[in-house]
Structure 1
Amino acid sequence: MSIVEADRVRAKPQLETAPLIVHVVRQFLPNRGGLEDVVANLARQTVRRGYRVRVVTLDSLFTAPEDKLPLREDIDGIEVVRIPWSGSSRYPLAPQVFRHLADADLVHVHAIDFFFDALAWGRLLHGKPMIVTTHGGFFHTRKYAAIKKIWFRTLTRASAMAYRRVVCCSASDLKQFCEIVPDSLLIENGADIGKFADTAARRAKRRIVTIGRFSVNKRIDHLLDAMAGLKTRDPEWHLDIVGAESDLNRADVEGAIESRHLSGRVTLHVSPDNDTIRRIIAESSIFASASEYEGFGLVALEAMSAGLLPVLNANDAFATLAARHPVLMLADFTNPEAAATAIETAYEDLSRQPDVVRAGLLEAARGYSWDIVAERYIDLYRSLDVVAAENI
């Protein structure tokens, strides 16, 4: 069955003959993060439309490399295959990926890493049509910026030639990748707008939540500096930090909290489940992120869908979102006092017009529903199948 014909099996899926999309991504469930959530949501939506879906990923989480996960698992109808890896979490080597592509109709690679390069250079071995979604490339920090630019303009450019389409998930990615692949396509990420839908506090509270992995680029330190300033202005301010360990662990974050004398004013939640996060959001009014780099800004959209008013560091991705949705507020989190003032202003705006602000946030978030975004990917899958058929 061709990819174009997949819609015909929606009512009565014939999974043994339905076209197979193989997603290749370095980290997947049970890990939690923007990349993992995007792949999981796209995979679920694709399964619902009658396709078979396989996710090939690494057999352990970067935060616990010695704890091996099941080699095979079914998650919400998604076949998950996990393979061994070695080397650095920044560029994990996992050549067994080639073993799991033979029956694929299309290979969808996520992020610019070993898989992106290996499947490009090994395309004569597997012979499968491929697309790639950029997810911010590898410019999440300024570290090694000169080397990254050289790599991007040489090796990344060469690898990209093996892909039918390069899909950028943000306007900033599109601007960057058009330098090496002029026909790059923009499909912005979706957001799981139902996960925490309309759960934020109904009346304005001086309570902030931030959600995201504990990575250096998220600049939790800058957010804590702003929180220290808020505490001196009004003792009611409280911050909940929600996320999973990454290149920072629990002890790192706890140390940063204690060094600023914020114990009791900041609560740390490490890898809580969604029910717990929902309860935290229900007591909060403001979402804040001091992140210096985002591939798209997915977490801000989920915050909006909950009715939280975001105050965001003015990185490229957040600035693009704020230009499109003026209800969002930008701040310079490298300046703690300025960031604290922006958070106070957000609280005051919410206090004056809670229903109006909330309605604007919920309406803006609806445009990023995965139903809409998945259809854009399905349209792309169909178009590639037509091109392949014409070339046979």
Structure 2
Amino acid sequence: MPNSAPLSILHVVRQFLPNRGGLEDVVANLAREQIRLGHRVRVLTLDRLFSRPETRLLARERLEGIDIARIPFFGSHRYPVAPSVFRHLGDADLVHVHAIDFFFDAFALAKPVHRRPMVATTHGGFFHTTAHSRLKKLWFQGPTRMSVRAYEAIVACSESDARLFTPITPGGVTVIQNGVDLDKFADAASPEPRRALLTLGRFAHNKRLDRLLAAMQVLNAGGAGWRLRIVGVPSDVTEDALTAEIDRLGLTGAVTVHTGLDAPAVRDLIGQSSLFVSASQYEGFGIALIEALSAGLVPVAHPNDAFAWLARRHPAITLTDFADAQGAAAAIRGASDRLASGAIMRGSEDLSEYRWSHVAAQYVAVYEAALAGTGPVVAATAA
């Protein structure tokens, strides 16, 4: 039974099921847990996937137990404009906006009209890459600074997000680390050590898949037989472009690309792997890395802010600068050797704080404070 009166919650996110990615998984898992707690939950999203813009999805659909409404949009996928958003407020007690985009600004601008309490989760803001950095900084200090004032609570999903948003958010921000489905890939890694790597996530420029390929060239320079499986969904890097680059580098056979897989299929690939690798330059939190730990994979990752924070808490994580292909290859070999020798004990990490039951309870506390007008539940901290 829920500990509080049931709420009608509207989650607003630019991409959602059937698309798969970190943001989509966060919203889906949070929605499912809130439904389990007895709340009425809907998700409002766009009617086309950025990866398949030619296909229009159903206006209304129920997937994985979640009621979804989809609306048309125009403009760039970086800032999709969807004017019909306000027709779908319905009986929502509270609106929860995910990420900093058109929806975030539009709901803020229209607050005097719709008058709904609002919570927003940052999900890394829009600083995942350095592209258009000057314009992004100007937008952040202008429209974003103004928009945050309309929200009852701004939730940062990492300490790095907290440091970014605290200076522009009156009253500070709440830090709630992202939840992770720890059961999906639990203990799925290969029981015996293999020279097999896996990376999981969106095919995006900030993920620096090119640097993973460079490290693979070094690893296999002597015919050592290393394998890399790249698992995810295309984004601003297409599957064709990625495959062409693999072929150009002479890595055909050593590196394979896997798209559109469901969780059981991904679990099967994890079962053929021993190490998780990520050269990502920016992460809002690092869900895939936590999933890797839950699976028993040994992570070797680039020291972006999110991964560095996780590495301080989880000693099984090896950090290495993937800009240096030789150094990254050496770090991967070292992690593999430690795993083979028993120096790394897989499955020894305590990941309980990332369970969705814990995270959902924190969000409900934020919602109740927003509805009561009592301000942020937890002040931001800096790491």
TM-score range (shorter-chain normalised) is over 0.9
**Secondary structure at the residue paired with 2:41?**
strand
Cα distance in 1 between the residues matched to 2:64 and 2:363: 19
**Secondary structure at the residue paired with 1:364?**
coil
Task: Kindly indicate whether the alpha-carbon contact (under 8 Å) linking 1:7 and 1:50 is maintained by their aligned counterparts in 2.
Answer: no
Amino acid in structure 2 at the alignment position of 1:332 = D
Amino acid in structure 2 at the alignment position of 1:387 = G
Counterpart residue number, 2:285: 296
Counterpart residue number, 2:25: 37
Cα distance in 1 between the residues matched to 2:2 and 2:143: 35
Task: Kindly indicate whether the alpha-carbon contact (under 8 Å) linking 2:293 and 2:347 is maintained by their aligned counterparts in 1.
Answer: no
For structure 1, list consecutive stretches of 5 or more residues without a partner in the other structure. 10-17
Task: Kindly indicate whether the alpha-carbon contact (under 8 Å) linking 1:102 and 1:126 is maintained by their aligned counterparts in 2.
Answer: no
Task: Kindly indicate whether the alpha-carbon contact (under 8 Å) linking 1:107 and 1:128 is maintained by their aligned counterparts in 2.
Answer: yes
Counterpart residue number, 2:236: 247
**Secondary structure at the residue paired with 2:267?**
helix
Cα distance in 1 between the residues matched to 2:113 and 2:195: 57
Deviations 1:12-60 (A, max 9, x none): xxxxxx4210000000001010000000000000000000001000001
Task: Kindly indicate whether the alpha-carbon contact (under 8 Å) linking 2:202 and 2:233 is maintained by their aligned counterparts in 1.
Answer: yes
Q: Does 1:66 align with 2:62?
A: no
Task: Kindly indicate whether the alpha-carbon contact (under 8 Å) linking 2:189 and 2:297 is maintained by their aligned counterparts in 1.
Answer: yes
Counterpart residue number, 1:347: 336
Cα distance in 1 between the residues matched to 2:152 and 2:75: 29
Q: Cα distance, 1:8 vs. partner?
A: 6.1
Task: Kindly indicate whether the alpha-carbon contact (under 8 Å) linking 1:131 and 1:167 is maintained by their aligned counterparts in 2.
Answer: yes
**Secondary structure at the residue paired with 1:209?**
strand
Q: Cα distance, 1:378 vs. partner?
A: 1.3
Counterpart residue number, 1:194: 183
Amino acid in structure 2 at the alignment position of 1:372 = H
Aligned counterpart in structure 1 of residue 262 of structure 2, from 258, 273, 277: 273
Amino acid in structure 2 at the alignment position of 1:346 = A
- Quickly say closer, same or farther: Cα 1:364–1:234, change in 2 above 3 A: farther
Counterpart residue number, 1:365: 351
Aligned counterpart in structure 2 of residue 128 of structure 1, from 116, 135, 154: 116
Q: Cα distance, 1:210 vs. partner?
A: 0.5
Q: Cα distance, 1:366 vs. partner?
A: 2.9
Aligned counterpart in structure 2 of residue 145 of structure 1, from 133, 146, 150: 133
**Secondary structure at the residue paired with 1:116?**
helix
Q: Does 1:376 align with 2:362?
A: yes
Counterpart residue number, 1:110: 98
**Secondary structure at the residue paired with 2:17?**
coil
More helix by share: 1
Counterpart residue number, 2:148: 160
Task: Kindly indicate whether the alpha-carbon contact (under 8 Å) linking 2:276 and 2:297 is maintained by their aligned counterparts in 1.
Answer: yes
Cα distance in 1 between the residues matched to 2:89 and 2:187: 41
Counterpart residue number, 1:308: 297
Counterpart residue number, 1:14: none
Counterpart residue number, 1:174: 162
Cα distance in 1 between the residues matched to 2:177 and 2:310: 11
Counterpart residue number, 1:7: 3
Counterpart residue number, 2:381: none
User: Which stretch has the larger CA shift, 242-251 or 70-79?
Assistant: 70-79
For structure 2, list consecutive stretches of 5 or more residues without a partner in the other structure. 375-383
Task: Kindly indicate whether the alpha-carbon contact (under 8 Å) linking 1:302 and 1:365 is maintained by their aligned counterparts in 2.
Answer: no
Identity, in percent, stands at: 50
User: Which stretch has the larger CA shift, 345-354 or 290-299?
Assistant: 345-354
Amino acid in structure 1 at the alignment position of 2:190 = A
Cα distance in 2 between the residues matched to 1:367 and 1:344: 30
Q: Cα distance, 1:76 vs. partner?
A: 3.0
Q: Does 1:337 align with 2:326?
A: yes
- Quickly say closer, same or farther: Cα 1:195–1:385, change in 2 above 3 A: same
Aligned counterpart in structure 1 of residue 198 of structure 2, from 209, 213, 216: 209
Total equivalences in the alignment: 374
Amino acid in structure 2 at the alignment position of 1:156 = T
Q: Cα distance, 1:229 vs. partner?
A: 0.5
Q: Cα distance, 1:163 vs. partner?
A: 0.1
Amino acid in structure 2 at the alignment position of 1:295 = G
Q: Does 1:221 align with 2:221?
A: no
Cα distance in 1 between the residues matched to 2:151 and 2:24: 22
- Quickly say closer, same or farther: Cα 1:8–1:114, change in 2 above 3 A: closer
Task: Kindly indicate whether the alpha-carbon contact (under 8 Å) linking 2:294 and 2:347 is maintained by their aligned counterparts in 1.
Answer: no
Counterpart residue number, 1:236: 225
User: Which stretch has the larger CA shift, 228-237 or 146-155?
Assistant: 228-237
Counterpart residue number, 1:92: 80
Q: Cα distance, 1:77 vs. partner?
A: 2.8
Cα distance in 2 between the residues matched to 1:234 and 1:357: 28
**Secondary structure at the residue paired with 1:210?**
strand
**Secondary structure at the residue paired with 1:109?**
strand
Counterpart residue number, 2:380: none
Cα distance in 1 between the residues matched to 2:142 and 2:371: 29
Task: Kindly indicate whether the alpha-carbon contact (under 8 Å) linking 1:60 and 1:69 is maintained by their aligned counterparts in 2.
Answer: yes
Cα distance in 2 between the residues matched to 1:8 and 1:231: 57
- Quickly say closer, same or farther: Cα 1:321–1:234, change in 2 above 3 A: farther
Deviations 1:103-144 (A, max 9, x none): 110000000000000000011221100010000000000111
Task: Kindly indicate whether the alpha-carbon contact (under 8 Å) linking 1:205 and 1:285 is maintained by their aligned counterparts in 2.
Answer: yes
Q: Cα distance, 1:267 vs. partner?
A: 1.1
Cα distance in 2 between the residues matched to 1:160 and 1:368: 26
- Quickly say closer, same or farther: Cα 1:130–1:8, change in 2 above 3 A: closer
RMSD: 1.6
Q: Cα distance, 1:233 vs. partner?
A: 4.2
User: Which stretch has the larger CA shift, 52-61 or 265-274?
Assistant: 265-274
Amino acid in structure 1 at the alignment position of 2:296 = G
Cα distance in 2 between the residues matched to 1:6 and 1:358: 35
Task: Kindly indicate whether the alpha-carbon contact (under 8 Å) linking 1:223 and 1:290 is maintained by their aligned counterparts in 2.
Answer: yes
Q: Cα distance, 1:387 vs. partner?
A: 2.9
Deviations 1:151-184 (A, max 9, x none): 1111101000000000000010000001111511
